Amino acid sequence: MGLLKKYIVMFRTDMKNAMSRRCGLDELNCFILLVSFIYIVAALFIHKWSLVLIGGLLFIVCCLRIFSKKMEQRLKENAFYMKYMGSVVEAFRYWKRCLKMMIKTKSDAEYAYFVCKTCGQIVRVPKGRNKVNIRCPKCNTTFIKRT
């Protein structure tokens, strides 16, 4: 077992060194990856090879952006993407957090969970208190919710 652990540590350090000067996974890469996945899944149902080709090309573009050493160009591309799609990305993140908190609230019998609209902080409140005035600990915004 010690030998396996040694190789895992070596692999981690090698990957860390290899990716230290690379662009990595940013918001634009996530979007390109999502679109390529949608194209490939749609091709499974529609039976069009052209959709698989487009999805594969988008996946290759995403991989090239992830492993690219041209950080300035990738940052400019991501900044351009976030300039026009940033609000959509932030709204998606907010709704994703809200969905997580709804699921967590259903499974937890003692507490209800809410997401602050200002900063996105998750706030835990005891259930069964009817309407409560909740103050976000991060940004001090107050909002009223039913528990």
Q: What is the pLDDT along the chain (147 residues), one digit of tens a residue?
A: 678 888 888 888 887 887 777 777 888 898 999 999 999 999 988 888 889 999 999 999 999 998 888 888 988 998 998 888 888 888 888 888 888 888 887 888 888 888 887 887 888 888 888 888 888 888 888 888 887
User: Other C-beta atoms within 10 Å of 122: how many?
Assistant: 15
8 A C-beta contact, residue 23 and residue 77: no
CA dist 25 and 32 (Å) reads 11
Q: Which two tokens stand for residue 95?
A: 């709704």
Looking at the structure of the chain, the number of domains it has is: 2
CA dist 52 and 64 (Å) reads 18
How confident is the model at residue 33, as a pLDDT? 94
| Structural domain span for residue 137 | 109-147
8 A C-beta contact, residue 79 and residue 23: no
**With b meaning 16 or more CB within 10 Å and e meaning fewer, what string describes 87-113?**
eeeeeeeeeebbeebeeebeeeeeebb
8 A C-beta contact, residue 23 and residue 65: yes
Place of tokens 């507490």: 111
Whether residue 88 is found in the same domain as residue 145: no
CA dist 131 and 142 (Å) reads 13
Whether residue 99 is found in the same domain as residue 31: yes
Is residue 144 included in any domain, yes or no? Answer: yes
How confident is the model at residue 1, as a pLDDT? 62
Is residue 67 included in any domain, yes or no? Answer: yes
Whether residue 91 is found in the same domain as residue 142: no
**H helical segments located in the chain:** 2-18, 27-46, 49-66, 71-107
Q: What is the largest CA-CA distance in the chain?
A: 58
How confident is the model at residue 76, as a pLDDT? 92
Model-level pTM? Answer: 0.61
How confident is the model at residue 103, as a pLDDT? 85
